[in-house]
Chains A and B, each alone.
Chain A
Amino acid sequence: MSDELRSIWHALGEVADPELPLVSIVELGIVRSVERGEDGWTVTLTPTYSGCPATRVIEEDVRAALATATTAPVRIATALAPAWTTDWIAPEARRKLHAAGIVPPQGEAAGAAPAGVRPIAFHRPRPVPCPKCGSLKTVELSRFGSTACKAQYRCSDCLEPFDYFKPH
């Protein structure tokens, strides 16, 4: 890895996700590749959700961060396939999320390998441990939380509401 490439990755590692500022876009698995072409660098990003409102901000932040890492032109490309999955979230980021009271995705996302149409299952029990007290007696309050990628839960033991980063 060249020094310049190393410093680009380092700079990208400093770019925080706008909606989850405690983790970087590299840790979230949004940066798919960094490649040197004849006319500069191409950074390929992948959106988490199609309608994620942070996508534009992330692009601008990447440009700003790379301005100090390279003097070559930077092009930002978007790749939809393979579709982003929470399985790409780095272990370190999972620890950070948990420490911040957001439960990271439990288990692998079924969508990691294209699974097709899953049958509808009613009353799915999927234990999500409370980030405060660890109790498994938690209930889903809403399938969507403060952002599209999270659901809202509440612990039945300590009564604390919390965000759950949905497997996707």
Chain B
Amino acid sequence: MLFDYLLRLADNGLILAQRLGEWVGRGPVLEEDIASTNVGLDLLGQARLWYAYAGEVEARDTGAGRSEDELAYFRDSGGFRNLLLVEQPNGNYADTMARQYLFDQWHVLLLDELRTSRDQRIAGIAAKALKEAQYHVQRSADWVVRLGDGTEESHRRMQAAIDALWMYTGEMFAVDATERTLIDAGIAADAAALQAPWRSSVDAVFGEATLAVPTDDWMQGAGMRGGKQGIHTEHLSHLLAEMQVLPRTYPQARW
């Protein structure tokens, strides 16, 4: 159960890092190319910390724990526990930054709660990751404002991005049986309690950005059948195909 929860944390970092890595060499300007991939690097580093711990927990539970690489490269999409939001395609830069902001704003709140987890290992990783996530959300919020309150065209694109991604945000606050048990044990963060502070920050940033908060509140995956349960959008398989092809084709490859 703890293993599954750690995978959720790790997979969010890995998948979003992979998405951000797709911008390498294609950023709108050199500085943004570097910035997006640096954010991805932070997320990848965090994912490795979570995977390493997940592997130890798995070893404790079953006697055979997988390595970081095995977890990253040799699971199929149904084995991934990331949020649907982070696997959504990059689209244009507004799509990428909207996805990033919606995630970052949730991520800082989640990590802040996990800092006080009764599991010392989780608390330590969260405290470290929070400092990085804090910087990420400042940047992504700035971009939401810059594009939202920019030109007519940038505003239109940012609003369209928010409208398209909004239905994937509900899953972030859905608590299933796995999380419930770990919340009660003082190990996991109560994701449902993050919704109000998340929404008030989002409202403030959208206000500054002259963006409208979508009114359609139908949420994909919120009914316990989403990314956290291993049920994904079609985009994840394509992402994994590219990410995993090398180690699966050459399992002994070293670099």
Q: Which residues of A approach B to under 8 Å, CB–CB? A: 47, 49-53, 80-85, 111, 114, 116-122, 141-145, 148, 152, 166, 168
Whether A143 lies near B49 (C-beta < 8 A) is no
Contact partner of A142 (CB less than 8 A), chosen from B32, B41, B128, B141, is: B32
Give the 8 A-B CB pairs with smallest separation, nearest first: A51-B45, A50-B45, A142-B31, A81-B124, A51-B41, A144-B38, A83-B128, A80-B124
Cβ–Cβ contact A166 & B135, under 8 A = yes
B42, A148: Cβ atoms under 8 Å? yes
Residue of A nearest to B41 (CB): A51
Interface segment, B76-84, B87-95, B108-116?
A: B108-116
Cβ of A82: which chain B residues have Cβ within 8 Å of it?
127
In contact, A168 and B131 (Cβ under 8 angstroms): yes
For A49, A52, A82, A145, the residue with the greatest tally of chain B CB atoms inside 10 Å of its CB is A49
> Are A51's CB and B128's CB within 8 A?
no
Interface flags for B126-169 (1: CB within 8 Å of A; 0: not) read: 01111110110111011001000000000000000000000000
The answer to whether A120 touches B201 (Cβ under 8 A) is yes
Chain B residues near A (Cβ < 8 Å): 31-32, 34-35, 38-39, 41-46, 48-49, 108-109, 112, 115, 120, 123-125, 127-132, 134-135, 137-139, 141-142, 145, 197, 201, 204-205, 208
A selection of 14 A-B contacts at a CB cut-off of 8 Å is: A47-B128, A50-B42, A50-B45, A51-B41, A80-B49, A114-B130, A116-B112, A117-B109, A117-B134, A120-B141, A143-B139, A144-B39, A148-B38, A168-B131
Among A120, A121, A145, the most chain B Cβ lie within 10 Å of the Cβ of A120
Cβ-Cβ contact count across A and B, 8 Å cutoff: 89
**Least CB separation from B35: chain A residue:** A144
Establish whether residues B34 and A144, one from each chain, have CB atoms under 8 Å apart when the complex forms. Answer: yes
Q: Are A114 and B32 in touch, CB under 8 angstroms?
A: no
Task: Give A166's nearest chain B residue, CB to CB.
Answer: B135
B31 contacts across to A, CB distance below 8 A: 141-142, 144, 152
**B137 to chain A: which residues have CB within 8 Å?**
120
Q: Beyond A50-B128, A116-B112, A142-B34, is A122–B49 a contact (Cβ under 8 Å)? A: no
Residues of A within 8 A of B38 (CB): 144, 148
Contact B138 A80 (CB under 8 A): no
Find out whether the CB atom of A51 lies under 8 angstroms from the CB atom of B135.
no
Identify which of A52, A84, A111 gathers the most chain B CB atoms within 10 Å of its CB. A111
A168 to B109, CA, bound (A): 18
In the complex formed, the residue of B with least CB distance to A145 is B34
**Residue numbers in B under 8 Å from A120 (CB-CB):** 137-138, 141, 201, 204-205
Contact A111 B131 (CB under 8 A): yes
Point out the residues of chain B lying under 8 angstroms from A152, CB to CB.
Answer: 31
Residues on A with C-beta less than 8 A from B197 are 117
Closest residue of chain A to B136, judged by CB?
A143
Could you tell me if B41 and A80 are in contact, using CB atoms closer than 8 angstroms? Answer: no
Cβ–Cβ contact A80 & B135, under 8 A: no
Residues in B whose Cβ lies below 8 Å from that of A118 = 134
CA distance A114 to B197 in the complex (A): 19
Q: Are B127 and A81 in contact (CB under 8 A)?
A: yes
**Residue of B at shortest CB range from A50?**
B45
Cα A134 to Cα B72 in complex, Å, equals 47
Residues A114 and B41 in contact, CB atoms below 8 Å apart: no
Q: Is the CB of A50 within 8 A of B49?
A: yes
A168–B134 CA distance with the chains assembled, in angstroms: 10
B42 nearest in chain A by CB position: A51
Instruction: Give 17 new A-B contacts, CB below 8 A, not counting A49-B45, A142-B35.
Output: A49-B42, A49-B132, A50-B42, A50-B48, A50-B128, A52-B45, A80-B49, A81-B124, A83-B128, A111-B130, A114-B127, A117-B108, A117-B112, A119-B201, A122-B142, A144-B31, A148-B42
How far does the Cβ of A126 sit from chain B's closest Cβ, in whole Å?
11
Interface centre among B31, B46, B109, B141 (most CB of A within 10 A): B31
Minimum CB distance partner of B144 in chain A:
A120
State A111–B111 Cα separation when bound (angstroms): 14
